[in-house]
Amino acid sequence: MKGQTPVIESGGSWKSLTMAGVFQFTPRGKNPRILFRLQPGSMDKKDFIDLLRDIKRELKGKKLLLIWDCCRIDQKYIGK
């Protein structure tokens, strides 16, 4: 699907949809999984913290290395 924009079809009444998530795999790249959340509208600081807490619960004590891309949310909330 390289080079094609995914399309989500829905009868929902929302005008925008935010997706945030993580790729999970072992240090050697095995057992890949995607954990994500879809939310109508935008996500704020509390939404991202809730997402990270849910991911932490899902990992059941396993270590997590978080690599943050440079999206707009970073510039607005990092360090606050």
Q: Distance between CA 72 and CA 15 in Å, rounded?
A: 19
36 in Cβ contact with 20 (< 8 Å): yes
- For 4-49, write each residue's pLDDT tens digit: 777 777 676 667 788 888 888 878 888 888 888 888 888 888 888 8
Most confident range (mean pLDDT) of 27-31, 67-71, 74-78 is 27-31
Give the pLDDT confidence score for residue 33 in this predicted structure: 84
Residues 28, 12: Cα–Cα separation, whole Å: 40
SS3 content of the chain, % helix, strand, coil (to 5): 25, 20, 55
